[in-house]
Structure 1
Amino acid sequence: MLDHLNPADPGFARDPYPYYARLRAQGPAARVPLTNGTHAWLVTGYDQARAVLSDPRFSNVPPQGAGRPGPDSPARRARGCLARHMLNSDAPDHTRLRRLTTAAFTPRRVDALRPRIEHLADGLVTELAGELDRHGTADLVDAFAFPLPVLVIGEVLGVPEADRADLREWTYRVGSPADALEPGAVDEAWTRLHAYFTQLIGHKRESPGDDLFSTLVHDASEGGLDDGELLAMAFLLLFAGYETTMNLLASATLMLLTHEEELDAARRGGPGRWAAVVEETLRHGSPLEGTTWRRTTERVDLGGGAVIPAEDSVLVVLAAANRDPGHFPAPDDFQPARYLPEGRRAAPHLAFGHGSHFCLGSRLGRLEAAVALPRLFDALPGLALAADPAELPYRPGLLVRGPRRVPVRRR
């Protein structure tokens, strides 16, 4: 009998991997009891995860009445509107929405952001050094891992810098289980996000800039995006644009600070070694713990005794698939060398998903980490962790994963 899965439990958030390993040992997918009294299928094997993510029988469109029942309210209406993003859609709607945004994330356009990312990273490292001088300690999440991606995506969306701290707080709330927060905190965040993006769209219509969001607001190709789709797209780009990269940077710094031999190797190895650190962090730390929820449109036999009925909820757990011992030897060990160009490379990780919903911002996230990490550790060579890593709190939930704090000091 499986234990109930409680995503809000701090112990589970800190280390969910033993639970996922037990699920994987039972077969390609397991029907898991949730603390809210319902059940869901969790897919934890690497091969099965790839299969589900490319199988049209698993729909991304939430069923009618999905979520906890409740009375109509501004928050409920806002949640419904902002949830119309392309991760919650199937073809042909998903195909149209993705095509309208793909042009913003071409390799050429993303790579052109490198000088700006370098400038922003250098400025944040300088501020971090000053904070360490003044106070003796600093939090790498608040001082570095959060502000860099939020500054970058803020520029992409044309969001004023003064608003970015509020947006971080609201997206943190909507990405967390309601049980982990004070009553009403999630509903308030949905309402505020809806109001903010409604105002932003109006501003872009009247005074467009050279940012991506202005382009989407004024793009009339294929009919363009209606106001509801623009609201949902703004939320998706904000959430995906900084939340995952923040967790990637936070997890990478924590791993390097607790694996000094890997930090020394990265400093000696140059860009190729730093790129391997990024890839191994994406695998080992999986900034996206799971995909968005899917549902079966018909009965699906995944093999190994896993037969999922029609209209059942299914979650592909990327964090578990990325530690499948059938594809990654010593999967719980942090070994960047497995992604070095020479020798036999490890299997491609699934940190950015797979199939038609593969993350559009994957190149941008990799670029930010590849730029930021060497700049941080080259400028502050004596950086050390200022807390017991086993006691650091992690983000609750099944969507995103990363340490909430990474306190550091100088040696």
Structure 2
Amino acid sequence: MLDHLNPADPGFARDPYPYYARLRAQGPAARVPLTNGTHAWLVTGYDQARAVLSDPRFSNVPPQGAGRPGPDSPARRARGCLARHMLNSDAPDHPRLRRLTTATFTPRRVDALRPRIEHLADGLVTELAGELDRHGTVDLVDAFAFPLPVLVIGEVLGVPEADRADLREWTYRVGSPADALEPGAVDEAWTRLHAYFTHLIGHKRESPGDDLFSTLVHDASEGGLDDGELLAMAFLLLFAGYETTMNLLASATLMLLTHEEELDAARRGGPGRWAAVVEETLRHGSPLEGTTWRRTTERVDLGGGAVIPAEDSVLVVLAAANRDPGHFPAPDDFRPARYLPEGRRAAPHLAFGHGPHFCLGSRLGRLEAAVALPRLFDALPGLALAADPAELPYRPGLLVRGPRRVPVRRR
């Protein structure tokens, strides 16, 4: 009998992989009891994860009445805007929304952001060095891994520089554990974000810029996005744009600080070796622990005794699939060399998903990490971890994964 899954448990958040290995030993999918008294199917194998993510019998549309009931409020209405984003849609809505967004995230447009990312990363490294001089220690998540992707997504959304401090603060509140802030702080941040993006959309309609979001606001192909869809897209770009990259940067810095031989190899190896560090971090420390929840539209036989009834909840656990020993030898080891061009490369990881919902921001996330990591470690070569890595807290839940703090000092 499987233990109840409690994603809020600090021990599980820090190291969920033994539990996922037990699930994988049960077969293609396992029906897991949750602490709220319900059950869900978790898919942990690599092949099965790819299959489910490509199968239209697994719907992304939440069932009616999903979520905890609560009183109406501006904050609740703001959260409700997310229900219209394309991760919560199937065909025909999803292909339409995705085509409109894909045209905005072309490789040329994303790569054109490199100079700004370099400038923003250099500024944060300078600030970080000053904090180290003044205080002796600094948290890399708070001072680097979090603010960089928030500032970059501000470029994508065309947020004026004068407003980015507010955007960073509101985003920090929304992404923080509820008990980490004063009562009402999170709800206020949701309300402020809703009001701000409503104003931003109106401004882009009247005075478009050369940012990617202006392109979405003024794209009339296939009818374009209505205001509700644009608001949902702004939230999606904001949170998907910073949350995954923040966890990628936080996990990568932690792994390099605890694997000095890999940090030395990256410094000697240049861009190719840094790219391998990024890919291995995406596999080993998947910034997205799981996909959004899916539900079966009919009875599905995954083989191996896993028969999922219609209308059951299903979660594809990307972090588990990326450590499937059938595809990744020594899956728990951090080995960037497995993604070097020479020799036999490892299987493609699933950190950005697979199938119709493959992450559109994958190129941007990779670019940010490839730019930021060498700049950080070249400018501050004497960085050392200022805490026991086994005691560092991780973000709870089943959607995103990464260390909440990475405190560092100079040697």
TM-score (norm 1): 0.95
In structure 2, the CA distance between the partners of 1:161 and 1:403, relative to structure 1 (3 Å rule), is farther
Per-residue deviation, residues 344-381 of structure 1 (Å, max 9, x unmatched): 11110000000011011111111111111111111111
Deviation at 1:167, TM superposition (A): 4.0
Q: Distance in 2 between matches of 1:189 and 1:41?
A: 33
Is 1:182 aligned to residue 182 of structure 2?
yes
Kept in 2, the 8 Å contact 1:292–1:399? The answer is yes
Kept in 2, the 8 Å contact 1:250–1:406? The answer is yes
Q: Distance in 1 between matches of 2:177 and 2:253?
A: 26
Q: Distance in 1 between matches of 2:197 and 2:327?
A: 42
Secondary structure of 1:5's partner? coil
Deviation at 1:12, TM superposition (A): 1.3
Secondary structure of 1:104's partner? coil
Deviation at 1:197, TM superposition (A): 1.7
Quote the sequence identity (%): 99
2:166 corresponding residue in structure 1: 166
Secondary structure of 1:41's partner? strand
Q: Distance in 2 between matches of 1:4 and 1:168?
A: 36
Deviation at 1:200, TM superposition (A): 1.8
Q: Which is worse superposed, 127-136 or 252-261? A: 127-136
Query: Which stretches in structure 1 are left out of the alignment for 5+ residues?
Result: none
Deviation at 1:171, TM superposition (A): 4.6
Kept in 2, the 8 Å contact 1:58–1:297? The answer is yes
Deviation at 1:396, TM superposition (A): 1.2
Deviation at 1:103, TM superposition (A): 1.6
Q: Distance in 2 between matches of 1:4 and 1:164?
A: 41
Secondary structure of 1:55's partner? coil
Q: Distance in 2 between matches of 1:142 and 1:361?
A: 22
Query: Which stretches in structure 2 are left out of the alignment for 5+ residues?
Result: none
Q: Which is worse superposed, 157-166 or 285-294? A: 157-166
Per-residue deviation, residues 231-268 of structure 1 (Å, max 9, x unmatched): 10000000111111111011000000000010111111
In structure 2, the CA distance between the partners of 1:178 and 1:383, relative to structure 1 (3 Å rule), is closer
In structure 2, the CA distance between the partners of 1:184 and 1:4, relative to structure 1 (3 Å rule), is farther
Q: Which is worse superposed, 85-94 or 170-179? A: 170-179
Question: Where does 1:184-203 land on structure 2 (aligned, <5 Å)?
Answer: 187-203=187-203
Kept in 1, the 8 Å contact 2:105–2:212? The answer is no
TM-score (norm 2): 0.95
Q: Distance in 1 between matches of 2:196 and 2:121?
A: 27
In structure 2, the CA distance between the partners of 1:163 and 1:375, relative to structure 1 (3 Å rule), is same
Secondary structure of 1:303's partner? coil
Kept in 1, the 8 Å contact 2:30–2:306? The answer is yes
Q: Distance in 1 between matches of 2:36 and 2:136?
A: 43
Kept in 2, the 8 Å contact 1:279–1:339? The answer is yes
Q: Which is worse superposed, 215-224 or 345-354? A: 215-224
Kept in 1, the 8 Å contact 2:82–2:235? The answer is yes
Q: Distance in 2 between matches of 1:84 and 1:107?
A: 26
Kept in 2, the 8 Å contact 1:175–1:397? The answer is no
Kept in 2, the 8 Å contact 1:248–1:285? The answer is yes
Q: Which is worse superposed, 164-173 or 62-71? A: 164-173
Kept in 2, the 8 Å contact 1:4–1:32? The answer is yes
Q: Distance in 2 between matches of 1:333 and 1:181?
A: 36
Secondary structure of 1:30's partner? strand
In structure 2, the CA distance between the partners of 1:39 and 1:176, relative to structure 1 (3 Å rule), is farther
In structure 2, the CA distance between the partners of 1:177 and 1:304, relative to structure 1 (3 Å rule), is farther
Kept in 2, the 8 Å contact 1:104–1:212? The answer is yes
Deviation at 1:135, TM superposition (A): 1.3
Deviation at 1:115, TM superposition (A): 1.6
Kept in 2, the 8 Å contact 1:176–1:395? The answer is no
Q: Distance in 2 between matches of 1:152 and 1:338?
A: 29
Q: Distance in 2 between matches of 1:181 and 1:66?
A: 26
Kept in 2, the 8 Å contact 1:8–1:179? The answer is no
2:119 corresponding residue in structure 1: 119
Q: Distance in 1 between matches of 2:3 and 2:181?
A: 23
Per-residue deviation, residues 363-408 of structure 1 (Å, max 9, x unmatched): 1111111111111111111110011111111111111111111111
Kept in 2, the 8 Å contact 1:175–1:400? The answer is no
Deviation at 1:168, TM superposition (A): 4.6
Deviation at 1:178, TM superposition (A): 6.4
Deviation at 1:83, TM superposition (A): 1.9
Deviation at 1:172, TM superposition (A): 5.5
Kept in 2, the 8 Å contact 1:291–1:318? The answer is yes
Kept in 2, the 8 Å contact 1:318–1:350? The answer is yes
Secondary structure of 2:37's partner? coil
Per-residue deviation, residues 262-291 of structure 1 (Å, max 9, x unmatched): 011111111111111000000000001111
In structure 2, the CA distance between the partners of 1:171 and 1:38, relative to structure 1 (3 Å rule), is farther
* Number of equivalenced pairs: 411
Kept in 2, the 8 Å contact 1:8–1:180? The answer is no
Q: Distance in 1 between matches of 2:167 and 2:95?
A: 28
Kept in 1, the 8 Å contact 2:394–2:402? The answer is yes
Deviation at 1:159, TM superposition (A): 1.9
2:235 corresponding residue in structure 1: 235
Kept in 1, the 8 Å contact 2:147–2:168? The answer is no
Per-residue deviation, residues 317-345 of structure 1 (Å, max 9, x unmatched): 10010011111111111000111111111
Kept in 2, the 8 Å contact 1:275–1:370? The answer is yes
In structure 2, the CA distance between the partners of 1:215 and 1:393, relative to structure 1 (3 Å rule), is same
Per-residue deviation, residues 155-177 of structure 1 (Å, max 9, x unmatched): 11012345445545555665677
Q: Distance in 2 between matches of 1:244 and 1:110?
A: 17
Kept in 2, the 8 Å contact 1:149–1:245? The answer is yes
Per-residue deviation, residues 115-147 of structure 1 (Å, max 9, x unmatched): 221122122111211111111111111111112
Q: Which is worse superposed, 141-150 or 155-164? A: 155-164
Secondary structure of 2:302's partner? strand
Q: Distance in 1 between matches of 2:161 and 2:17?
A: 37
Q: Which is worse superposed, 160-169 or 359-368? A: 160-169
Deviation at 1:183, TM superposition (A): 6.9
Kept in 1, the 8 Å contact 2:44–2:321? The answer is yes
Kept in 1, the 8 Å contact 2:276–2:339? The answer is yes
Secondary structure of 1:31's partner? strand
Per-residue deviation, residues 59-103 of structure 1 (Å, max 9, x unmatched): 111111111233444333332222210111111111111111112
Question: Where does 1:45-124 land on structure 2 (aligned, <5 Å)?
Answer: 45-124=45-124
Is 1:322 aligned to residue 328 of structure 2?
no
In structure 2, the CA distance between the partners of 1:245 and 1:260, relative to structure 1 (3 Å rule), is same
